[in-house]
Every structure is written in structure tokens, then in C-alpha cells.
Structure 1
Amino acid sequence: MAVPTKQAVPDIFFTPEWNEAYAAHEGGEFQQFEWQSDFGHIIYPFIKRPVPLLDGWFDTITAFGQSGPVIIEATEGQRRALVEEFDAAFQEYCDQQHIVSEYIRFSSWVKNAEDFFPLYGLDMRGIVMYIDLTVEDPFRYEFSSAARQQVRRALKNGVTIEYDFTGETLDDFYRLYGLTADRNEFPDHYLFEHGMLKNSFQGLKGKQFLLNAKFEGNIVSSALIVHHGDYMHYHLVANDPEYFRCAGNSLIMAEACNYGKAHGFSQLHLGGATNDALYRFKRRFTKTEPLEILTGKRIRNMEMYGKLTELKRLQFDIKNPGHFPLYRA
């Protein structure tokens, strides 16, 4: 175990700032396990959560987004040996800290699951889509003709774009996000406390901003953009359904690409596509093939996992037997 390092990490979801900001959303506290040896360097940010039903026991989950253990550097030919060292050390840490199980949302674009998949049971959880910002002109080469038409329509209708790097317009975003969540019946995991988002503008200063589309002086669409390293993320989006005709969301997407190109980012990630309508919408903005979303699970204390699962079964029954860990089903 180590104090979170300032070592460069590949994406925002691996940073201490991100994990600290989103720890409460996962119901725990940010921890980071760090392993260094002659074979290389691994960091593993995660959220340590109290286990329900029994005091003194914990499990881990990666923060909202995609991260997990990642190799920062490795001696040539020694990646496997490095991972094995890390696993043995982390098992010892789990024994000491009474950690029962792990759940990891691996990074689809960093592809860290490729190094760690022998240690974890992997599940494919859908796809994530992104815009390739390395092409000469994403608007021309990534956007479909329908998407380009939407952007031109927004400009013709007088929709404008406003940047907010401090969170001054967060109240407007939060109101629209509530409308979007209600309309699309977002699950609880996609509902965020206003105070948490407000505080994130301090903790993630320089790593996030709001892009607002305005029509006749009103914010009609808004997106929370986060970024680090080579990657930008279209993290959260909010729209006023009364102004869908303004195509503000499409204009935001085009402006995000402009920002990304100007600041040297290589990819703009659009998130997953949990239904056909969302897939069709996001597909209009990219011709790049989607990436797989992979999650990993690991039981670190089999005996206690069994006891907790039986307690859950006896007290509340297990309504979703496919859930991991089962004692949270």
C-alpha cells in the first residue's frame, strides 16, 4: 500500500483526484495500491466499501468510469512476472484489510484487461463508442451527413456555445440532467448528488468543463466534459426536451471535437450504448469501430464470501443470482 502517486497515469479515471471525487458515489473511500519492483510499476486505484450484513469486512469496486490496475512501466519481457508479483502482494493486503471481493471496470481504451485477465473472471458488458480525433477533420470524416446537417441547423437557428470551466452554470446543467434522467429512466448509479458535482470542479480543476448550448439566452443542452492524457470523455449530458429541435447536443459534440483537436487529444469517448436508440444517436458522430466494455471479478476470501452470501440468502433472499458479489444482489 502506498500514498497515491503523482506518477503520470493514462486517463482521468486512474487519477487520485477522480477517485476522491467519486468515492462517496460508490459508497466508500478512495484507496490506492501501488507495487514497484525491478520488474516495473503498477498502480491500482479503487474504492473500499464496507460490506453489508457484517461489520469489519470490506470489498472493492473501481470508481465510476473505467480504470482498475494498470502497468505504468515494465521491464522488457517481464510484464507477466510483474503482474504475478503484484497479485501476491495485493492478496496479502486484502487479507490484512479484510477485503472479501473485487469488482473492476477495466478501461476499454487503455486495454489494461489484457495484462490482468488471467487473474480475474471477465465479463463483456457491451460497447463503448468514441470519435477518432487524430483524423484531419472529425466533422468531415467521423460525423455522418445527418449529424453534419444537425450541426448546421443548430448554427442556422442561432444556437451558440458557451464554455464553463468553473461550474458557474452547474445549476442549469443539474436541472436539465434531472429532466434527462426522468425521461430516460436512468438507474440510480447514473444519478449524482449536486454537491458532489459542485465539489468536483475544485478537485478536478483543469480536468473538466461544461459545454453549454444556448438558444435565445437559455441553456438548452449541456455536457460535462472530462479529460486527461490523450483522452476526452463526453461524461454526462443533459437536454431540455422542449428544445430538441434546436439540435444543441449535436453542436456541443462538434465543439468538443474542435476543443480536442486544438488541445492535442486523440480520442473523444462517448460512453456506452445500452439501447438501439442511443447506439443510433452516437453512431452518427463516429465511423470508428466501438470497443468492448470488460469487467473483472475476484473473490479474495472464499470462506467469508460464502458466509456473507448465506447471510444474505437467509435474511433477504437473493433476487439477482447473476450479480457480483452475490451478497449485494
Structure 2
Amino acid sequence: MTVKSKVQVPDIFFMPEWGKAYESQDQGESRIFEVKNAIGHIFYSFVLRPIPILAGETLYYDTVTPFGQNGPIILKCQPGKKAELIASFDQEFQIYCTQHNIVAEYIRFSAWLKNVEDFKDIYSIDNRGITMYIDLTVQDFFMEEFKSPTRQQVRRALKNNVQIEYDFTGESIQEFHRLYQIMAKRNDVPAYYLFSEELLKNSFELLEGKQFIVYVKHEGVAISAALFVHHGDYLHYHLAANDPAYFHLAGNSLLINEGCRWGVEHGKKELHLGGASTEALYRFKRGFTKTEPLDILTGKKIRNPEAYQLLSDIKARSEGIENPSHFPMYRG
């Protein structure tokens, strides 16, 4: 099942293998669109989703970027030719959308690579919150990035007679998923952020060598775990799983500390912690970093206005539109 990329991208979320691993989360199929010419190279990984609304004989689609932060990215461009290359991308993708009955496009741009800056003139941009990261290029992340209460949590975990274990192959995915389900149920995690055991297992085959699980165990029992993914300069604290019965042992703090240690040893420059849906989670993550949070920016574009309006009208008449501000509206 392992697929090797033929293109060099700067972060794991842009890899075709990533799109393939997570395509089912968006109920579609992973696709790649590229513009390669004498001016440069733009690479775009997205998920093609059938729109579940009957509109005559035509089956319409829309697109969304794979789970994570990615979107179109310029891999190569002649000096002074960026605007021309981007215009060419927009025109060619519009043709592609027309040929494939694609109605609308939704993009989650990379907050750290800031590819939104290159494409902000062709998409409508929205701010969806913030994401945090730890700077691993400092001399001592523990003393320079971690705040004092967080350092105390890590020290407490180490005193609690816990052990660290790594899994680089996914052989323990059943155990990880057990912990993940406990965490998800406790925090009432939305369906979109619930990952099946099968998806996670398959991801280890598709993303071989690009991810690993770290466990904190107490008396042989896994009490905390995290799935880290990585590529290039970036390491990501992708999924966390904890048993609340053991929160007093501060296993999750030790996990992030261990992730930082691994990242430094392997030449990573940043460990990304993601966003925060609650104030408590925000405070927890902010304890690990003194860097300023990054904006999460999304882009949207209607590629077929007539079909977009038709589908929205059909949805409004048949079922009603619960959230008119949702994009695309016919999915609201």
C-alpha cells in the first residue's frame, strides 16, 4: 500500500499520501492538480466530494483540502513571475472545475508556510482562529519555551514512575484508539475529528516513516498517548489520547516534552500543537510555548455560480438550510 511521492513538498499535509490516508474523513477521493510550465510549479492536493443533492441528470462535486493545513503551494517560480503563475493556476483550475462539474472550493491554508499570501487575491479569506507551535531552534526548549508551571508538570510526571514507549509501525494502534475514544467521548469531540481504527492503521502504511506514537505508561498501563507526524522541518502533535483517571500523573505534559526532544534530535525546527477549542486547552498548550500564535486562514471560491445557486435552492426547498453562513451553503 505504501506510495512514494514524486514531488518534494515542504510539509506532510501537502503529501499525496496524506490526502489518500485522510480522504474518507471528507467522504471523497484524493486528487492532485498541478500547473507546471516555464514560469514555475504549483502543486495542489484536494479531496473531490460528490454533492448529495439531485439536480437533474448532472452529478455535481465540490472540493476541500485534506484534513490538516495545506492548500495550493508554489514549489518553484521564476523571479518576478509569481503573479503570472498564480493567474495561470486560477485559469487552469477553473477549466478543470468546468470539465469535472466542480461547483465550489474550500481551502485550509498552512498557517506556518503562509501560502495564503500567494493566493489571497483569488480566494475569499476567513480567519478561523489560531494555532500554536513550539520553537525547537532555541538552545533549550525546556527552559526557553516552556513556562514554569509546565516545567513543573513535566518534572512531576517523571517523579511518578512512568515510562515512555515508542511505536513507529502502528502495531499498537488498537491500544491508541482505545485511549483516543475515551478522550473523544469525555470531550464530546465532533464527528469530523473522530478517526476510525482502520483509518489510523492504514495511515501507517501510506505514511511509512512519517509518523509514530508515543505512550506514557504507569505500572504497565497506557495512560496517555500522542500520534506525531512529520516531514521536512515540521513535527506535528497530531492526535492526543488520554485516560482522565490518570490526569494527576501529568502524562500529557511529558508526551509533548518527549516530542520536543525527538524533534530536536531529528533536526525539526517547529513542533506544532494545533489550536484550542476550549479555554482550558488553550492555557495548557500555551504553557509549552512563548511564540506568538498563528492565524488559521481558510479560502473559499464558487467555481460555478449557477449550479451553486441551483443546489442551494433545492436544499432550501427540500430540507431547509440550517446554517446559511456555512460554505458551501447547500451543505449548511
Q: Which amino acid aligns with 1:32?
A: I
2:97 to 68, 76, 94: 94
1:179 corresponds, among 179, 182, 198, to 182
CA offsets 1:51-85 (integer angstroms, 9 cap, x no match): 11135210000010001100001100111110001
State TM-score, norm by structure 2: 0.97
Partner-residue secondary structure (3-state), 1:226:
strand
Name the residue aligned to 1:245.
248
The match for 2:267 among 260, 264, 269 is 264
CA shift for structure 1 position 5: 5.8
Aligned equivalent of 1:57: 60
- Separation in 2 of the partners of 1:6 and 1:322? 39
Pick aligned residue for 1:146 from 120, 144, 149: 149
Which residue does the alignment assign to 1:232?
235
Is the 2:44–2:71 contact (alpha carbons within 8 Å) kept by the matching residues of 1? yes
Matches within 5 A, 1:115-194: 115-194=118-197
How many pairs does the alignment contain?
326
The residue that corresponds to 2:226 in the other structure is 223
Letter in 2 for 1:285: F
Residue 291 of structure 1: how far off its partner (Å): 0.2
Does 1:315 find its partner at 2:318?
yes
Unmatched runs of 5 consecutive residues or more in structure 2: none
SS of the residue 1:210 aligns to? strand
Corresponding residue for 1:32? 32
What's the TM-score, normalizing by structure 1?
Answer: 0.98
Deviation for aligned residue 1:165: 0.4
Distance 1:118 1:269 in 2: 27
Alpha-carbon distance, 1:160 to partner: 1.3
The equivalent of 1:254 in structure 2 is 257
Show CA shifts across 1:10-47 (max 9, x none). 10000011000001111000000000112110000000
1:249-275: CA deviation from partner (whole Å, max 9, x where unpaired):
111111100000000000000001122
CA distance in 1, matches of 2:169, 2:37: 40
Classify the secondary structure of the residue corresponding to 1:118.
coil
The 1-side partners of 2:250 and 2:278 are apart by: 21
The 2-side partners of 1:230 and 1:114 are apart by 20
Matches of 2:148 and 2:255, distance apart in 1: 16
The separation in 1 between residues aligned to 2:199 and 2:221, in whole angstroms, is: 24
Partner of residue 308, structure 2 = 305
CA distance in 1, matches of 2:208, 2:177: 19
Superposed CA offset, 1:144-180 (max 9, x none): 1111111111111111110100112211111111111
Note closer, same or farther for the CA distance 1:122–1:167 as it changes in structure 2 (3 Å cut): same
Aligned to 1:103: 106
Task: Provide closer, same or farther for how the CA distance between residues 5 and 94 of structure 1 changes in structure 2, counting only shifts above 3 A.
Answer: farther
> Which runs of 5 or more residues in structure 1 are unaligned?
none
Indicate yes or no: 2:84 matched with 1:71: no
Contact kept in structure 1, 2:5 and 2:17, CA below 8 Å: no
C-alpha RMSD of the superposition: 0.9
Query: 1:126–1:274: 8 Å Cα contact kept in structure 2?
Result: no
Q: Secondary structure at the match of 1:166?
A: coil
Structure 2 counterpart of 1:31, which letter?
R
What secondary structure does 2:112 align onto? Answer: coil
2:294 to 291, 294, 316: 291
Amino acid at match of 2:214: L
Q: 2:310 is paired with a residue of what secondary structure?
A: helix
Range with bigger deviation, 53-62 or 98-107: 53-62
Give SS of 2:90's match: helix
Contact 1:52-1:328 within 8 A present in 2 as well: no
Q: What's the % identity of the aligned pairs?
A: 57
Name the amino acid aligned to 2:170.
G
